[in-house]
Structure 1
């Protein structure tokens, strides 16, 4: 009999890109992950990992084992949901994760509505950027994630996850209220080509790629003066006149802030696509189905 926990470890190695990263995601030591993979290889009678440079890569046998593993885990999620659906308003736990502005605008209201509808339900919230969200889903530390896909995200047809559109978050240009553009009703991005820009750190969030990609599409390379990731830091930098910033509408600005949001016109429309993701098959769980309905309702009200 194959130990499903060992298959889960192999799935984490695939998702995280290596043994060390998988160990971090699973809260294990790298040696423990390697031991689990070796034990699974012995169970199957095949080689699953081979050394490549300083790291390892999955063998063709490992990829085949994973294809079957993804189907097994999907079937298990659906079976568990089918068994539990006969309980009326059962107690349970739902674990939600998402990037900071989604947590504030979408997931906290979802958690409140879930607990109001079923006081016996426990809801856990976790702030995490998109790559970590998928790792949390795979390690079963989260049940539902709100993510912004990037170039390294799982594809929409990835057999491990259900992913569906949630919201197109419109992006505005943020300027100080005494900026020469502040009185405008709207702006094309190319009109801000000569401005000094504030952008997120390249490896921190999807915001960096979004800003660079938008400016490139508009026909210019932004002159980056400052890097900032924390929203409060961004707002203070813009207020002080250190540059302009592309700000998603999910991010709230304090009413007293001396800032102006300028809608960006032109095509393509400047948005960040937000998805809701869960483990394949798990969305049939009553708790997750309820969370999904509430979340989509909140997103629709914002849109």
Structure 2
């Protein structure tokens, strides 16, 4: 409903290069360059300047982007209002989520949506939170279920509507023969001297482990890194160290590990957000998707669902 070249400029701001922008929008780099040159020519201002091998947005481009973000949000509101005039929940709903929430919450919610609405096609993507924001901006997903992390947009970012849905405690994961394995709960400081398993540096789990241990007064000695909780559980089960694990995470059957709730003043909590493009939350299909996701979350007794 707005000039698609404005969307190209918005995605370029997010990704920083013409090549990455083209990949995100499923275009060729030459098409992206042509769009932006044409837009600049029509507006009579320079939008890009060359800095070494990269392009940089000009002051005029940033001014235009402020208007483009407002236009994009208004376009989403218009689509939502027009969709309300149609009968039934139909069309395509695309949902993306970070891995743990995808398995525990989003996939069951999507199945419930699909079964209740025969005219609705569901498309699902599992990805890291920062990439889910990219998918939203590019129009490749409609609802994102994410964790805030370094590199994700700030809560007041004008492009997105971000709302906290639930709070999830993290548990301590120890080998079955660990000295604390028989306890009902423990304090994090009790494993300060143990070797630790963490996520890779770009994975949210790395930040959770680092910040939780710092709050408990120690720096963990990291002996292993992985990208999935299955890898965390495998290393813990084989005696390489201890770790934190999401309350939502499923541990593969047969793993010789013990999940211990934490108590004390430094219990790490993960806050999960639902994110849509600003202006899109009232779209009937998106609103129904959010409603069913919240319904599935409420069925869990191990997390706290927050009021809207």
Question: Normalised by the size of structure 1, how large is the TM-score?
Answer: 0.94
List per-residue Cα deviations over 1:234-254 (Å, max 9, x = no partner). 211111111111101110124
Q: What's the offset of the Cα at 1:102?
A: 1.0
Runs (4+) of structure 1 exceeding 6 A deviation are: none
Query: 1:167–1:300: 8 Å Cα contact kept in structure 2?
Result: no
Query: 2:159–2:277: 8 Å Cα contact kept in structure 1?
Result: yes
- Out of 239, 242, 258, the residue aligned to residue 241 of structure 1 is 239
Q: Matches of 1:21 and 1:216 in 2, distance apart?
A: 36
Q: Matches of 2:31 and 2:263 in 1, distance apart?
A: 53
Query: 1:97–1:146: 8 Å Cα contact kept in structure 2?
Result: yes
List per-residue Cα deviations over 1:138-188 (Å, max 9, x = no partner). 111100000111122111111111110011121111011111111122121
- 2:31 maps to which residue? 32
Please give the secondary structure, in 1, of the residue aligned with 2:244.
strand
Query: 1:105–1:250: 8 Å Cα contact kept in structure 2?
Result: yes
Query: 2:208–2:268: 8 Å Cα contact kept in structure 1?
Result: no
- 2:118 maps to which residue? 119
Please give the secondary structure, in 2, of the residue aligned with 1:264.
coil
- 2:215 maps to which residue? 217
- 2:270 maps to which residue? 272
- 2:250 maps to which residue? 252
Q: Matches of 1:3 and 1:107 in 2, distance apart?
A: 31
Q: What's the offset of the Cα at 1:281?
A: 0.8
- 2:292 maps to which residue? 294
Q: Matches of 1:211 and 1:91 in 2, distance apart?
A: 42
Q: 1:292 to 1:277 in 2, by over 3 A?
A: same
Q: What's the offset of the Cα at 1:268?
A: 4.0
Query: 2:112–2:292: 8 Å Cα contact kept in structure 1?
Result: yes
Please give the secondary structure, in 1, of the residue aligned with 2:40.
helix
Q: 1:287 to 1:3 in 2, by over 3 A?
A: closer
Please give the secondary structure, in 2, of the residue aligned with 1:187.
coil
Unaligned 5+ segments in structure 1 are: none
Query: 2:198–2:222: 8 Å Cα contact kept in structure 1?
Result: yes
1:142 is aligned to 2:118: no
- 1:65 maps to which residue? 64
Aligned length: 301
Report matched runs for 1:1-303 at 5 Å: 4-203=3-202, 205-302=203-300, 303=303
Please give the secondary structure, in 1, of the residue aligned with 2:74.
helix
Query: 2:94–2:124: 8 Å Cα contact kept in structure 1?
Result: yes
Question: Normalised by the size of structure 2, how large is the TM-score?
Answer: 0.93
Range that drifts further, 156-165 or 36-45 = 36-45
Q: Matches of 2:206 and 2:15 in 1, distance apart?
A: 21
List per-residue Cα deviations over 1:108-138 (Å, max 9, x = no partner). 1111111122111100100111111011101
List per-residue Cα deviations over 1:61-101 (Å, max 9, x = no partner). 11111111111111111111111212221421100001111
Q: Matches of 1:18 and 1:271 in 2, distance apart?
A: 35
Query: 2:197–2:222: 8 Å Cα contact kept in structure 1?
Result: yes
What root-mean-square deviation, in Å, do the aligned CA atoms of Structure 1 and Structure 2 show? 1.6
Q: Matches of 2:198 and 2:267 in 1, distance apart?
A: 19
Q: Matches of 1:268 and 1:173 in 2, distance apart?
A: 12
Query: 1:115–1:123: 8 Å Cα contact kept in structure 2?
Result: yes
Query: 2:164–2:273: 8 Å Cα contact kept in structure 1?
Result: yes
- 2:306 maps to which residue? none
Q: What's the offset of the Cα at 1:47?
A: 1.2
